[in-house]
Amino acid sequence: MIQDISPLLNKIKEDRDIFQKSRLVDYLIKERKLRIIDLAKKLDFKSSYICHLLRLKKIPDVIVDGYYSKSISSSHIYVMSRLNDVKQMIKLYEKILGENYTVKQTEEAVRDYLYQVKSIGKYINKENIEKLTQKIKEKYPEVEIKIIQTRIKGKVILEIKGSLEESSKEIKKILEKLKE
């Protein structure tokens, strides 16, 4: 006999305790064999939120205790759950408590742990991106350019449409001009 999961779904929707939600979601996925995407649909949540809840399972007890004692917010915990190393989590938890880290500071610390990149500086403004795009287009009208900048990296993508032969020819032209 298959037991109705509606009470569990309601509990997940109504419960404010993120760790209780995490345990229930974990149970439904592992024991009831629900897929994340199916559970998300039943709950009317995004599947990414279900994944965030599942990541909470790896949070060490000392941090869980900090949450229940209201020493740390759920937002801090969600950000910390991106780390895979328990020692790093505990070290960051101590910084959050000792240095009164905001959620933004916690995000920056996690980014530093994960990518060894500090989030300092400013994004290039649209005007400069447009100038660069225009200069490249003047020299290489056949090239589409896309500039992407995130907190951890910047990309300049040059796209040349056409066959392998045509694109190889254009890439070689660009390389020759760069050598000059």
Other Cβ atoms less than 10 A from the Cβ of 22: the count is 21
CATH class for the region spanning 6-115: mainly alpha
pLDDT at 1: 36
**Quick one: which of 96, 109, 108, 106 has its CA closest to 66?**
96
Burial of 116 (C-beta count, 10 Å sphere; 0-12/13-18/19+): exposed
Give the separation between CA 30 and CA 12, rounded to whole angstroms.
Answer: 16
**Alpha-helix runs per DSSP H in 116-153:** 126-139
> Crossing angle for the helix pair 86-99 and 103-115, nearest 10 degrees?
150
64 with 17: CB under 8 angstroms?
no
> Structure tokens of 28?
């439904």
Facing residues of 157 across strands?
A: 146
pLDDT at 86: 94
Domain ranges of the chain: 6-115, 126-179
37 with 63: CB under 8 angstroms?
no
Task: Give how far Cα 170 sits from Cα of 137, 147, 179, Å.
Answer: 13, 20, 14
Q: What stretches in the chain show pLDDT beneath 50? A: 1-2
Give the separation between CA 60 and CA 170, rounded to whole angstroms.
Answer: 54
Give the separation between CA 91 and CA 77, rounded to whole angstroms.
Answer: 13
